[in-house]
Structure 1
C-alpha cells in the first residue's frame, strides 16, 4: 500500500458510468491507493426516474453507494471524475456538485491534486471528448494537475481516446465492454502512479 488517497466521484443514470467508476476504483485500489467510491446527488424528480425502467433499476441498485461530499475532495490526493455526456457537456448532476466546491477552491484546498476524467454518451461522436475537456476546465481552476491516459498503454490503441476513457452506449442498449473497462482501469492506474510521484515530490520539496 502507498499513502495515496483516491476519490472516484461519478454520476450515472442507467449504469454505464457506474460500471466504469467501479473499474476505476478497483484498479486504483489494486495499484495501492485507498479509495472512496462516491456518487453525486440525483437532481431529477422521482416521477421522471420511475418512468424510465433502466433509470429506476439503476437507482435501486446503487441506493447504498454513499453520496459525494466536499470532504471527499479535500481528503483525496487523486480525483477520478466521471459523468455521462449531455449535449457535449457533463450531466447536470455532476456539474451541480462541482459548483458547490467554491469554499474549497477559495481556501486553496484543491491545489496540486492530480485529476482525471471519463465519460459515456448515447451515440458515437456524441460529445465524449468535449465532456472530458469540460470536466478538465474545472480542474484547471482548482489548480490540479490533469493526468490523461494518452496512448501510454496498448489498450489505448483499441479504446482510441487519449483525453480520457469513454463509452458509447447506443442509446442505453450497450453496457461498457472489456475494452472500455480495461481502458478506464489503465487510466486509474496511471493516475495513481503520477499522483503518488506528485505527492512524494511535493513532500520532499
Structure 2
C-alpha cells in the first residue's frame, strides 16, 4: 500500500483539524498515513503573547524522512497570500534531497487556512508548486470534486487547489462541517490516485518481465535470450549487405 505523509503547520489548530479529516479520507481507501508537523521557528515567549495553544501531539518531520513516503499532503496556513516562514524553513531544508533527485516522481497536494475568503488560498498553493516543480514532484490539484465548493449560501473554504477553512482574523471560526467534508474528499481522491498509480506500476513491471529480452543465467547475471541474439545478428548481416549494394553520392 502507498504511504502518505500529511505535513502541516498549525498555530491555532485550524489546519490540524483539516489534516485529521484528510487522514480519514486517505484511510478510507486503505492507504497508510502518518501525520507530521514542521518545526516551529518562534520561541515560547512570542507564542505566549500570540495566545497560541499547545502544539498538537504530532511528531516533528525531518527532511530526510520525506524519502519514505509515496505522497505528501501539505497543510499551509497563509501569511499575506503565501505560506508562513515555518513551512518555508522546512522546505528550504530539502536541498540535499533535491540535489540527488530523491523526491522525483512522488505526489503532493495542498490544503489551507486563511483569515478571510480572500486571504490567498490559491496563491499560497502556487507558491508551493515551485518547490514541487524543482523536486520533480507531481502536483495533484483537487478540482471541484466536492459539491460544497459550489455553495454560495455561506462561507466555505477550499478551492480547486485543495481543501481549506476560513478562520476569521482572530481565529474564532472553526472549520465547518462542509469544509471538513471537502477535506475528507480530498484525502480519498488523493489515495485513489496513488492506488491507481501503484497498480499501473505493478502491471507495467509484470509486462516488462514477460517481454524483456534480458534473463538471468545460472550465475545470477543478466544475459540476452538466444532468439534475440540470433535476430540481432541477422539484422546486422542484412545491414552490411545492403550497404555494399548502395552507391553513396555527394
1:158-181 CA distance string (max 9 Å, x none): 356111112111111101111111
**Superposition pairs for residues 1-205 of structure 1, below 5 Å?**
3-53=1-51, 55=52, 57-59=53-55, 62=56, 64-158=57-151, 159=156, 161-171=159-169, 172-203=171-202, 204=204
Give 4+ residue runs of structure 1 displaced > 3 Å after superposition.
none
* Structure 2 Cα separation of the partners of residues 202 and 71 of structure 1: 25
Whether the aligned pair in 1 keeps the contact of 2:145 and 2:185 (CA below 8 Å) is: no
Number of aligned residues:
198
Larger radius of gyration: 2
Contact 1:40 1:93 in 2 (8 A): yes
Mapped to 2, the partners of 1:194 and 1:164 lie a distance apart of: 15
Q: What TM-score do you get using the length of structure 1 for normalisation?
A: 0.90
1:7–1:72 CA contact under 8 A, matched in 2: no
Structure 1 residues not aligned, in runs of 5+: none
Q: TM-score, normalised by structure 2?
A: 0.75
Q: Distance in 2 between matches of 1:165 and 1:91?
A: 18
Post-superposition Cα deviations, 1:150-199, rounded to whole Å, max 9, x if no partner, equal 01332332356111112111111101111111111111111111122223
Q: Structure 1 pair 143/88, CA: closer, same or farther in 2 (3 Å)? A: same
The 1:21–1:196 alpha-carbon spacing in structure 2 relative to 1, beyond 3 Å, is same
The one of the two structures with greater contact order (alpha-carbon pairs below 8 A, sep at least 6) is 1
CA distance in 1, matches of 2:187, 2:65: 17
